[in-house]
Amino acid sequence: MARTLRPLALILVLLLTFGATGGAQRTDRDQRMQWWRDARFGMFIHWGLYAVPAGEYKGQRSKDIGEWIMSWANIPRAEYVKFAPQFNPVKFDAAKIVSAAKNAGMKYLVITSKHHDGFSMYDSKVSDYDIVDSTPYRKDPMRALADESKRQGIKFAFYYSIMDWHHPSQYVKAEGKDETAGHKNTEMREGQKPVYVAYMKAQLKELITQYDPAVLWFDGEWVPWWTEEDGKDLYQYVRGLKPDILINNRVGKGRKGMEGMNKTDQEYAGDFGTPEQRIPASGLSGVDWESCMTMNDTWGFKSYDQNWKSVETLVRNVIDTASKGGNYLLNVGPTAEGEIPAESLERLAGIGTWMAKYGESIYGKTAGPFKTQLPWGRATSKTGKLYLHVFNWPADGVLNVPGYSANVEHAYLLADPRTPLTTEADAAGLRIRVPAAAPDPVATVIVLETKS
């Protein structure tokens, strides 16, 4: 009995862990995921009313994230709405933002249509609390961004928060907190959930039918009144409106905290896992995931956050993520005037310089074959080719690839394909003779072409 049960149990666990959602065939899923798996690198944009206070309320500053100011500064709705008449992003330039993403080597962008504060960044017909109806700007920047993305050939996508600090269905019940302020959890008023779900569905229908987003990136799903059943229903609703759309795992209750991958006790809604502010320690085979990360310590603009990551760190994060089979979604937080901060633009340009030279090693590539992490860097691969990303260049002119025994036909620097590198195989693995000095201080890419 036990003997026949064991394989069945194993199959069940595998199904629960890697199963696609909503009964979709693996092939359908593979088809709609294809562009996203190839893309590997996208831009996250957190932009909303919170850019007006820019991390400061009545002289109070915080280490906390900018878009959560309504929560950490305990701002009641009636006060927070006063940022709307001050929001006039006259320097917003869709072409400049899309070009910045493209030149950085990003293949898609995901922008906040509505964050936890409940303010809609597009012209919604089911709310007046939006950028067209309640700010002096009176224009729809999402329209401009969607159009410009199409023009420049980059995928356009929306973030949407389930938790809503503005909607009358929700309120806050916490010691010392205003009932109408922001908080990490909202309570749902008796009988109001169907009203709120109908509101979300009306907004999602507007977003999908009018802007044709490639992805819906949900968030704020952890509130106690949102259930996995609600998540599955919303997933099906969104997919029904656009059959090939991609939906993250925060639509339902699958996500395991900031680690972002799904819990494995059942089948959860969503097409990909969402680690936040981290890159998994090792590759995860057979699952799709995307690590989202900030360039400094905030998502929404804060005037005084200067804790910027270096270009070297950011490029290596792109590589690290791709080497583990995931995507990297890197955030920018435009100001209330509508501009990406100069520090972010500089970093995007720096990443772009590296990507222009070495992008082939990232796009359409997946995890390398190594079981343990390489001592000097990372590896990505595609049938017949292995890309070695060297972070720490060897001092003795020999790069050791431990445990690697494939038959290497050609070895060369990706930036110099016509100069062959000498390789020798031995019991310990492969040895590659390399130039004395690192050709690229951020990451040099060596290509190994193998016999298939």
Q: What is the contact surface with ligand H79 in residues (CB under 6 A)?
A: 46, 65, 67-68, 184, 219, 222, 257-258, 276, 292, 299
Nearer to ligand H79, 68 or 80 (CB): 68
Closest by CA position to 157, among listed 261, 294, 271: 271
Q: In the complex, what is the shortest distance from the CB of residue 308 to ligand H79, in angstroms, rounded to a whole number?
A: 18
Nearer to ligand H79, 119 or 299 (CB): 299
Nearer to ligand H79, 46 or 302 (CB): 46
Nearer to ligand H79, 68 or 387 (CB): 68
Question: Nearest residue to ligand H79, using CB?
Answer: 222
Closest by CA position to 432, among listed 417, 404, 177: 404
Q: How far apart are the first and last CA of the chain?
A: 43
- Structure token pair of residue 313: 């760190």
Nearer to ligand H79, 195 or 258 (CB): 258
Q: In the complex, what is the shortest distance from the CB of residue 342 to ligand H79, in angstroms, rounded to a whole number?
A: 22
Q: In the complex, what is the shortest distance from the CB of residue 292 to ligand H79, in angstroms, rounded to a whole number?
A: 5
- Which residues fall within 8 angstroms of residue 351, CB to CB, at 6 or more apart? 104, 105, 311, 314, 315, 318, 330
What are residue 43's DSSP bridge partners? 109, 330
Nearer to ligand H79, 68 or 370 (CB): 68
> Could you give the CA distance from residue 15 to residue 9 in angstroms, rounded to a whole number?
10
- Which residues fall within 8 angstroms of residue 229, CB to CB, at 6 or more apart? none
Q: In the complex, what is the shortest distance from the CB of residue 18 to ligand H79, in angstroms, rounded to a whole number?
A: 23
Q: In the complex, what is the shortest distance from the CB of residue 190 to ligand H79, in angstroms, rounded to a whole number?
A: 23
Q: In this structure, which amino acid lies at residue 248? A: N
Q: In the complex, what is the shortest distance from the CB of residue 32 to ligand H79, in angstroms, rounded to a whole number?
A: 23
Annotate 269-338 with three-state secondary structure.
CCCEECCECCCCCCCCCCCCEEEEECCCCCCCCCCCCCCCCCHHHHHHHHHHHHHCCCEEEEEECCCCCC
Nearer to ligand H79, 18 or 222 (CB): 222
> Could you give the CA distance from residue 433 to residue 411 in angstroms, rounded to a whole number?
10
Q: In the complex, what is the shortest distance from the CB of residue 178 to ligand H79, in angstroms, rounded to a whole number?
A: 19
